[in-house]
């Protein structure tokens, strides 16, 4: 049963298989990925599209997401000029959803980037150095894993104050313990490899050892975790904004839009609730699919149990 | 066995202390003055300003003048002796009464969700495994993926939207205690419980399914079939009991994410549990409430993990000796 992607215990057999594998170019690898995992490939395309929308939001959006408030056009149903209708302040929902992609991706990548880098540094050092440091880190990680994700993020947002940067930081802290645990366990198995022993023998410095020999070999599982977690982080951002604890209005965060929509506009303007939610779910769904496909590709041992 | 339990329970205490230090640390050491934040919020809402004296008075009132270690010890002790960190800044209600009022509600919601999930997930998981890679299996897996990728607050909004516009019925406002008006109570609680259970049972179904697949491939299952047992008996007597152990353990550990979900849905459905209070307190910068309620929630999480661990070691002796 493969419930969680752990990378501990690579057997000698896996090692042999890996060495026997033919080397392929990037293009060949991509083609193989598309053929073997069509769902993963489709989700990758959707995500590239999403990044494109976020990047070119000013071009795609038909209105300004914040400033274009037309009192006469409040709560209008979807039409040719407002594809997704207008909200309670007469803002164009379509444009806000488009700009919302920007916020979701910004927070998502900020949180995942910060969280994985911090988590990997701590995890690899803790696993490689061992001893008291490892003991302390493990205890703290165990405790933090016991915190419900959203509660930990909430505490941090309350302490830091709500802004895009702070929400990103808060969510990054919330994923750090997961990354630490994973990269520590990979480090423990990599540490036993012969090439690490060889590196020790020729007197490689700690920095070089960690950066050149250990870290690159622990990246795979962390990458899978990060991809899968990206969707979770985006939902958490939306959840915080939905609770009024995320990026403050008037920023067009999907969660914030749902929050306003849920406050008495559901009957009058259901499109205020439907479209941001569709966008949010679609993004999370594709990240989950991509994460699944990547996990299968990068970690073949997990293929059997879960499918 | 007793030795194992004793060791786990003894380890639980430093874990709790560490958790409390983390919560305290997050709220105190990070930049930002609590008193200033509260007064700033009040001033922004009331449209007025605040003076130096007000800041100093509030700091004294909140005990912020003490050195941090003393503040921590005072708070930690109050969590033990039943004061739970004093009272709310906004309502001046003592935290002990807030917790007594709201904790049972959250616990009830959690219990309903878990019960619903188990009732749904175990049969579906078995069914899905028996029809592996046939269409019932695909339908169930799609449902599970949907349940896991749609944010629960959006499912809730869609459900409310559907009920209001299509059926013309919405869950009653206001909350009733189960002992006072059980019908009204269930009418409110059933919706968040159902939505939480969708996601939770999606997870449980997946574990049950993969556990079943593993067990069904075992030699003793083949032997049972070979000696002529019907599928019902093979599943009930030889397979399911072996699957339930990991299902219950992993399910127990997953309740932590469930708790996160209750925080959001309590707010959406107006259910007066701990989650609603901690969010209102967070928005209102009511630091004592946020701090103590976060500690309570984490305490329950860690406590639950402990119980699951012990229960697991009880059914699977291998764990005890590792």
Q: pLDDT tens digit string along B240-261?
A: 888 887 787 778 778 877 888 8
Q: What's the Cα-to-Cα distance from B41 to each of A165, A167, B207, B255, B263, rounded to whole Å?
A: 21, 19, 47, 34, 23
* Number of A–B residue contacts, CB under 8 Å: 147
pLDDT of A3 above 60: no
Radius of gyration, alpha carbons of chain B: 24
Give tens-digit pLDDT for A45-70. 888 888 898 888 888 888 888 777 77
What's the pLDDT at A5? 43
Q: Residue A244: its chain B contacts at CB < 8 A? A: 279, 283
What's the pLDDT at B60? 78
A2 — contact with chain B (CB < 8 Å)? yes
Within B82-218, where are the H helices? 95-130, 135-149, 152-162, 182-216
d(CA B89, CA A248): 23
Give tens-digit pLDDT for A252-279. 899 999 988 888 787 788 888 889 999 9
Give tens-digit pLDDT for B212-249. 888 888 888 888 888 888 888 888 888 888 888 778 77
What's the pLDDT at B56? 80
Query: Could you tell me the sign of the dihedral formed by the alpha carbons of A246, A251, A254, A258, in that order?
Result: positive
Reported confidence tier of residue B278, pLDDT bands at 50, 70, 90:
very high
pLDDT of A170 above 80: yes
pLDDT of B51 above 80: no
Average pLDDT of B41-69? 74
pLDDT of A117 above 90: yes
Describe the crossing of helices B135-149 and B182-216 by its angle, rounded to 10 degrees. Answer: 130
Q: What is the ipTM of this complex?
A: 0.82
Mean pLDDT of chain A: 83
d(CA A192, CA A172): 30
Reported confidence tier of residue A86, pLDDT bands at 50, 70, 90:
confident
Burial-class residue A218 by CB neighbours within 10 Å (0-12, 13-18, 19+): buried
pLDDT of A205 above 80: yes
Is-contact A123 A183, C-beta < 8 A? yes
Query: Which CATH number describes the domain made up of B95-320?
Result: 1.10.3720.10
Higher pLDDT, B289 or B319: B289
Reported confidence tier of residue A2, pLDDT bands at 50, 70, 90:
very low
pLDDT of B299 above 70: yes
pLDDT of A1 above 60: no
Residue B97 to chain A, least CA–CA distance (Å) = 21
Average pLDDT of B150-157? 87
Instruction: Please judge whether B279 and A242 are an interchain contact, meaning their C-beta atoms are less than 8 angstroms apart.
Output: no
What residues of chain A, 208 to 237, have a C-beta less than 8 Å from chain B?
Answer: 231, 235
Q: Residue B251: its chain A contacts at CB < 8 A? A: none
What's the pLDDT at B320? 66
Higher pLDDT, B278 or A74: B278
Instruction: List beta partners, residue A290.
Output: none
Higher pLDDT, B19 or B139: B19
Average pLDDT of A188-198? 89
Is-contact B20 B295, C-beta < 8 A? yes
What's the pLDDT at B2? 81
Task: For B174, list phi and psi in degrees, rounded to 5.
Answer: 80, 160
What's the pLDDT at A160? 85
What's the pLDDT at A304? 44
Nearest to B27 among A1, A155, A239 (CB): A155
Enumerate the domain spans of chain B.
95-320
Residue B262 to chain A, least CA–CA distance (Å) = 10
pLDDT of A171 above 90: yes
Q: Residue A280: its chain B contacts at CB < 8 A? A: 151, 154
pLDDT of B50 above 80: no
Average pLDDT of A186-191? 89
d(CA B55, CA B33): 10
Instruction: Please judge whether A161 and B161 are an interchain contact, meaning their C-beta atoms are less than 8 angstroms apart.
Output: no
Instruction: Please judge whether B260 and A151 are an interchain contact, meaning their C-beta atoms are less than 8 angstroms apart.
Output: yes
What residues of chain B, 298 to 317, have a C-beta less than 8 Å from chain A?
Answer: 298, 301-302, 305
Say what the pTM is.
0.83
Among A30-44, A141-155, B16-30, name the one with the lowest average pLDDT.
A30-44
pLDDT of B35 above 80: no
Average pLDDT of B155-173? 80
Is-contact B39 A167, C-beta < 8 A? no
* Percent of chain B's residues with pLDDT above 70: 92
CB count within 10 Å of CB A121 equals: 16
What's the pLDDT at B127? 86
Burial A190-207 (b: 16+ CB within 10 A, else e): bbeeeebeebeeeeeeee
Residue B304 to chain A, least CA–CA distance (Å) = 10
Q: What's the Cα-to-Cα distance from B246 to each of A3, B112, B206, B207, B300, rounded to whole Å?
A: 11, 21, 12, 8, 21
d(CA B45, CA B43): 5
pLDDT of B144 above 80: no
Instruction: Please judge whether B279 and A305 are an interchain contact, meaning their C-beta atoms are less than 8 angstroms apart.
Output: no
What's the pLDDT at A27? 79
Highest mean pLDDT among A15-29, A68-82, B122-136: B122-136
Nearest Cα residue to A104 out of A258, A266, A293, A263: A258
Reported confidence tier of residue B30, pLDDT bands at 50, 70, 90:
low
Q: Residue A266: its chain B contacts at CB < 8 A? A: 157, 160-161, 164
Interior angle at CA A130, CA A129 and CA A135, nearest 5: 135
d(CA B280, CA B277): 5
Q: How far apart are the first and last CA of chain B?
A: 13
What residues of chain B, 153 to 172, have a C-beta less than 8 Å from chain A?
Answer: 153-154, 157-158, 160-161, 164-165
Q: Which residues contact A243 (CB under 8 A, 6 or more apart)?
A: A154, A259, B263, B264, B267, B279, B282, B283
Higher pLDDT, B94 or B55: B94
Q: What's the Cα-to-Cα distance from A55 to each of A81, A102, A228, A237, A287, rounded to whole Å?
A: 22, 7, 22, 19, 18
Mean pLDDT of chain B: 83
Q: What 3 state SS string does chain A have?
A: CCCCCCCCCCCHHHHHHHHHCCCCCHHHHHHHHHHHCHHHHHHHHHHHHHHHHHHCHHHHCCCCCCCCCCHHHCCCCCCCCCCCCECCCCCEHHHHHHHHHHHHHHHHHHHHHHHHHHHHHHHHHHHHHCHHHHHHHHHHHHHHHHCCHHHHHHHHHHHHCCCHHHHHHHHHHHHHHHHHHHHHHHHHHHHCCHHHHHHHHCCCCHHHHHHHHHHHHHHHHHHHHHHHHHHHHHHHHHHHHHCCCCCCCCCCCHHHHHHHHHCCCCCCCCHHHHHHHHHHHHHHHHHHHHHHHHHHHHCHHHHHHHC
Q: Which residues contact B310 (CB under 8 A, 6 or more apart)?
A: B4, B5, B8
């Amino acid at each position: 049963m493969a419930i969680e992607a752990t990378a501990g215990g690579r057997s000698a057999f896996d090692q042999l298989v890996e060495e026997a594998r033919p080397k392929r170019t990037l293009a060949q690898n991509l083609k193989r990925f598309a053929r073997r995992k069509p769902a993963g490939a489709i989700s990758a395309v959707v995500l590239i599209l999403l990044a494109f929308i976020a990047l070119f939001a000013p071009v795609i959006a038909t209105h300004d997401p914040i400033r274009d408030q037309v009192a006469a056009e409040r709560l209008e149903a979807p039409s040719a000029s407002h594809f997704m209708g207008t909200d309670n302040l007469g803002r164009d929902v379509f444009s806000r959803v488009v700009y919302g992609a920007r916020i979701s991706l910004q927070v998502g990548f900020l949180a995942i980037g910060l969280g994985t880098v911090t988590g990997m540094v701590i995890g690899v050092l803790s696993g490689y150095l061992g001893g008291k440091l490892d003991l302390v880190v493990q205890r703290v990680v165990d405790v933090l894993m016991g915190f419900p994700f959203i509660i930990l993020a909430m505490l941090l947002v309350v302490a830091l104050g709500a802004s895009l940067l702070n929400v990103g930081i808060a969510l990054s802290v919330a994923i750090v313990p997961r990354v630490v645990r994973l990269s520590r366990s990979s480090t423990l198995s990599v540490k036993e490899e012969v090439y690490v022993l060889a590196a020790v023998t020729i007197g490689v410095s700690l920095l070089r050892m960690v950066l050149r020999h250990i870290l690159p070999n622990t990246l795979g599982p962390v990458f899978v975790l990060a991809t899968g977690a990206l969707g979770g982080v985006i939902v958490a951002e939306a959840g915080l904004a939905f609770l009024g604890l995320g990026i403050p209005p008037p920023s067009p965060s999907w969660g914030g839009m749902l929050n306003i929509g849920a406050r008495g506009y559901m009957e009058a303007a259901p499109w205020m609730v439907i479209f941001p939610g569709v966008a949010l779910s679609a993004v999370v769904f594709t990240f989950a699919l991509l994460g699944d496909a990547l996990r299968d590709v990068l970690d073949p041992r997990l293929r059997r149990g879960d499918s | 066995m007793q030795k194992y339990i004793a060791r786990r329970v003894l380890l639980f205490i430093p874990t709790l202390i560490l958790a409390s230090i983390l919560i305290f640390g997050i709220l105190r050491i990070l930049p930002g003055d609590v008193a200033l934040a509260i007064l700033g919020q009040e001033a922004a809402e009331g449209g007025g300003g605040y003076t130096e004296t007000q800041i100093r008075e509030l700091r004294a009132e909140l005990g912020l003048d003490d050195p941090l270690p003393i503040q921590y010890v005072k708070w930690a002790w109050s969590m033990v002796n039943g004061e739970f960190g004093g009272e709310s800044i906004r309502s001046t209600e003592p935290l002990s009464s807030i917790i007594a009022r709201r904790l049972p509600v959250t616990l009830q919601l959690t219990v309903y969700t878990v019960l619903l999930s188990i009732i749904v997930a175990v049969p579906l998981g078995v069914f899905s495994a028996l029809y592996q890679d046939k269409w019932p299996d695909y339908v169930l897996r799609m449902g599970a993926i949907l349940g896991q990728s749609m944010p629960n607050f959006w499912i809730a909004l869609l459900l409310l939207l559907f009920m209001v516009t299509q059926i013309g019925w919405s869950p009653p406002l206001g909350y009733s205690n189960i002992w006072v008006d059980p019908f009204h109570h269930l009418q409110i609680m059933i919706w968040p419980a159902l939505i939480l259970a969708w996601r939770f049972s999606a997870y449980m179904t997946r574990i049950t399914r993969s556990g079943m697949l593993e067990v069904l491939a075992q030699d003793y299952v083949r032997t049972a079939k070979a000696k002529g047992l019907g599928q019902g008996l093979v599943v009930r007597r030889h397979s399911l009991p072996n699957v339930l152990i990991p299902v219950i353990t992993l399910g127990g550990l997953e309740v932590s994410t469930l708790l996160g979900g209750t925080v959001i849905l309590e707010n959406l459905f107006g259910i007066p549990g701990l989650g609603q209070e901690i969010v209102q307190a967070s928005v209102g910068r009511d630091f004592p409430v946020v701090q103590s309620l976060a500690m309570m929630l984490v305490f329950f999480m860690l406590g639950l993990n402990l119980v699951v661990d012990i229960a697991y070691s009880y059914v699977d002796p291998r764990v005890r000796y590792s």
